[in-house]
Amino acid sequence: MKAPDGNKLAILNALNQGGFISGQLLGEQLGISRAAVSKHMQSLQAMGLDIFKVSGKGYSLNNSVGLLEQNKIQQYYQGLNASTAHIEVHPIIDSTNSELMRRIAAKQTLDSGTVVVAEMQQAGRGRRGRVWQSPFGANLYYSYFWRLDDGLQAAMGMSIAVGLAVYDTLKALYQLDIELKWPNDIYLNKEKLAGVLVELDGQPQGPCQLVIGVGINLQMPTSYSQQIDQAWTDLSQHSQQIDKNQLVAHLTYHLEQRLAQYSQTGLHDMYQQWNELNAFAGQCVELNTGHRSWRGICEGIDPQGGIRIRQDGEVKSYYGGEISLRKAVQ
């Protein structure tokens, strides 16, 4: 699927103003036929946008979708007295994480704070090869590049710091009290709101490069929600004032703050706060590696970011990106 051309983006901007707009008026504004307008609408619907038509009124967006605008993001970001990040906006991309990982593989020079955001991902992915549903304009697809000089071992608890940055952002903008699920999920009222995917490139003892991916559900279309195999929610169900550009700026700012803290003291000053937000605190959970699984009581995380599980009166910490954690079915 190609990125929206100028006409599709112009139609999107018109729909984004709210209310109805006729195909005839759109055609006149763009210098194209009503049939061409109709084809553009069908193409936008195929991307996941919830557009409906009412005879005699025209077209309307079921939900107002704010488009990403580089200038607005920059204004919000500078309003936070921040200036170090370089933020790129893409209409459609295979995956924001994959884009940055390709640049790393190609030995391109990347500055810490390089951010890639997109309106749509054609191959969005989560942990363990899962698909991340990524319809056009509906959610936030975001990746942040960061260089860490202390080696891969030092990056072990990174998803903990990133989860707290997402918490900081959603608390500051929407006053939401989210919970965190080890190692990389953000929950609201026991339903998944966002996820984190941290990918690494480097040596055990030398400098390493990190790509920090964050996906936040904003206004998930019904047609896509049916493909999600777990309880989920989106921001539109909890806030009427969603500005995607403001969200990008604040997430970038809070990530910078948490990463600076992490580079100084690791998780020493963060793990106790994470434990206060632990979605499974004191609950019976199941750990799964794909080859084996076991149960225990979730006791939070240790100062290195490992999950602490109590079994038969003994508490052990478990680490690793390929371990999944879920509430045990009784």
**134 shares its domain with 198:** yes
**217 shares its domain with 167:** yes
In 10 A of CB 80, how many CB atoms? 16
Is the model's pTM score more than 0.75?
Answer: yes
Q: ∠ CA(190), CA(253), CA(131), 5° rounding? A: 45
Residue 131 resides in a domain: yes
Pick from 249, 274, 299: which residue ends a domain? 274
Q: How many residues does the chain have?
A: 330
Active-site residue among 125, 127, 181, 244?
127
**270 shares its domain with 292:** no
**169 shares its domain with 43:** no
Residue 1 resides in a domain: no
Residue 238 resides in a domain: yes
266-306: per-residue pLDDT in tens? 999 999 999 999 999 999 999 988 788 889 999 999 999 99
Q: What is the DSSP track for 117-180?
A: EEEEESS-B-GGG-B----TTTSEEEEEEEEETT-GGGGTTHHHHHHHHHHHHHHHHH----EE
Does the annotation count 53 as an active-site position? no
Active-site residue among 125, 181, 192, 244?
192
| Mean pLDDT on 233-257 | 94
Is the model more confident about 291 or about 129?
Answer: 291
Residue 14 resides in a domain: yes
**108 shares its domain with 194:** yes
Residue 177 resides in a domain: yes
**44 shares its domain with 173:** no
User: Which domain does 162 fall in, by range?
Assistant: 70-274
Residue 163 resides in a domain: yes
**139 shares its domain with 25:** no
CA distance 275 to 271: 6
**148 shares its domain with 91:** yes
Total domains in the fold of the chain: 3
What contacts 27, CB < 8 A, 6 or more positions away? 33, 34, 36, 37
Does the annotation count 326 as an active-site position? yes
Active-site residue among 57, 190, 295, 326?
326
- Give which of 68, 49, 137, 130 is closest to 97, Cα–Cα: 130
Most confident of 185-199, 228-242, 308-322: 185-199
Here the CATH number for the domain that contains residue 315 is 2.30.30.100
Q: In which element (H, E) is residue 295 found?
A: strand 293-301
Does the annotation count 102 as an active-site position? no
**44 shares its domain with 142:** no
68-90: per-residue pLDDT in tens? 889 999 999 999 999 999 999 99
pLDDT of residue 144: 98
Pick from 61, 82, 101: which residue ends a domain? 61
| Mean pLDDT on 157-175 | 96
Helix (H, G, I), strand (E, B) or coil at 7: helix
Helix (H, G, I), strand (E, B) or coil at 35: helix
167-207: per-residue pLDDT in tens? 999 999 999 999 999 988 999 999 999 999 999 998 777 88
**Contact predicate 160/305, CB 8 Å:** yes
pLDDT of residue 3: 47
**172 shares its domain with 94:** yes
**97 shares its domain with 22:** no
**317 shares its domain with 286:** yes
